[in-house]
Amino acid sequence: MIPNISFNISSNGLGLPQAEIQKIPGFVLTGVTVVGANKVTAGTSYQIFSLEEAVNLGIAEGGTNDFAYKQIAAFYAQAKKGAELWFMLVLGAVAMEDQADITKDYARKLLSDAKGKIRVLGLLKKSGTTETITDGLDADVHLAVVKAQALAQDFADRYYPVRVLISGNKFSGVVADLKDYATTNYNKVAILLANTDGSKEAAIGLTLGRLASTPTQRKLSRVKDGAIEPFAAYFTNGATVATLDTAWDAIDNKNYTFMRSFANMSGFYFTGDKTLTVATDDFNSLARGLVMDEAVLTAYTTLVQELSDEVPVTTSGTIHPAIIKSWQNSVERDLKANMVEDGKLSGVKCFIDENQNVLQTNNVDVSLQLLPVGYSDFITVNIGFTTTLD
């Protein structure tokens, strides 16, 4: 071979941050198989980016999948065409408890088929006439909560974190009957009690659309995002939310999410995004949980590149400072670029103790501190007349 010069071009010298982790929704809901080529089959996972794609699959207005059509249409009314949605139709006999069951091929299959892309999952069953009402709701709702928490925890353990939103079907209308979820520990699950059509099911599609169209740290109740519904809002007993306006605080205190109105403002807004856990839990809102999920995935994607790599040590056997600085900078850089600069976090700090005995343990402990954003959920104004203005 004659003398020559060759260039090996590096593709990572600029230290560019990793791609942003998107808040992609998944949806398991009642529907049926449609006969024909390229039509929807119950129990199969689908990825779509528009309502038109759903219609082409046989999920059409007024058809056998009209229930699913309305939910998906509501999703795209909020999220707009181009938004990614993973969904699965399941037969009407499939309870939400079964949808969430990790041993059954419903939500588990959808999450697996999406290969970890789904960050928030909606569960919805069309109500019938034979449901048993327990603790103020269709008993299936409370059973689904337990299964959904176990499902979400299992996938989180595999770095496929997901939060679950369950339809609070068939509210009895009696606030005192509602189970108090402010005393439980299901911090990956939320229940929605409201809709916009007076039906017995919650507006899960609409809510997923709002979640998909807002940043990770954004609460559902943020007023600046605009009304979620301009004309009417109901509980899942068919009554307007106004009929229980004196009990709104009592319902909210039990950690249910619904819709409300404000004086001198048109439209209806979400009350919050509470999860079914105690007030002292850091993840008592969907927003807090989604932020942590994104941070974990961002740090994981950065650090997994270092797995089983050689770790140089000093003459005293401690981790070499250059390695510590490199790892700390990499983690902080990606978190700052993808989360701090976008307003999802207020700050981040990564710390690695150089005195770890990596020679004997083959383990490196990394401490990661996240400073979240705050929320103006309550505003107190001290107002009164005065004789002078200071």
Identify whether the C-beta of residue 296 lies closer than 8 Å to the C-beta of residue 222: no
- Are 322 and 255 in a shared domain? no
* Helix (DSSP H) and strand (DSSP E) numbers for the chain: 10, 16
Alpha carbon distance 91, 87 (integer Å): 13
- Are 331 and 278 in a shared domain? no
- Are 161 and 132 in a shared domain? yes
Structural Rg of the chain based on CA atoms: 24
Exposure class string for 33-70: b at 16+ Cβ within 10 A, else e: bbeeeeebebeebbebebbebbbebbbeeeebbebbbb
- Are 354 and 236 in a shared domain? no
| 72 located within any domain | yes
| 10 located within any domain | no
pLDDT value of residue 202: 99
- Are 365 and 255 in a shared domain? no
Name the phi and psi angles at 128, rounded to 5.
-115, -145
- Are 273 and 328 in a shared domain? no
Domain count of the chain?
Answer: 2
Identify whether the C-beta of residue 268 lies closer than 8 Å to the C-beta of residue 229: yes
| 266 located within any domain | yes
The residue among 106, 97, 89, 181 whose CA lies nearest residue 131 is: 97
Token look-up 């309550």 returns 378
- Which residues face 274 on adjacent strands? 285
351: enclosing H helix or E strand: strand 345-351
Counting beta carbons within 10 angstroms of the beta carbon of residue 4, is it exposed (0 to 12), middle (13 to 18) or buried (19 or more)?
A: exposed
- Are 355 and 221 in a shared domain? no
Rounded to two decimals, the pTM is 0.91
- Are 262 and 366 in a shared domain? no
Mean pLDDT by 10 residues, the chain (390 residues): 59 53 91 96 98 98 97 97 98 98 98 96 97 98 99 96 98 98 98 98 98 95 95 97 98 98 96 97 96 93 83 82 89 94 94 85 88 86 80
Token readout for 54 is: 């759903």
Token readout for 212 is: 């998909």
- Are 230 and 339 in a shared domain? no
Identify whether the C-beta of residue 45 lies closer than 8 Å to the C-beta of residue 107: no
Contacts of 94 (CB under 8 A, 6+ apart): 30, 106, 125
Which domain range does residue 389 map to? 311-390
- CATH code assigned at 152: 3.40.50
Alpha carbon distance 99, 83 (integer Å): 24
- Are 41 and 183 in a shared domain? yes
Q: Which of 260, 292, 324 is the last residue of a domain?
A: 292
- Are 112 and 205 in a shared domain? yes
| 349 located within any domain | yes
pLDDT value of residue 4: 63
pLDDT value of residue 17: 56
pLDDT value of residue 261: 97
- Are 196 and 274 in a shared domain? yes
| 249 located within any domain | yes
pLDDT value of residue 377: 83
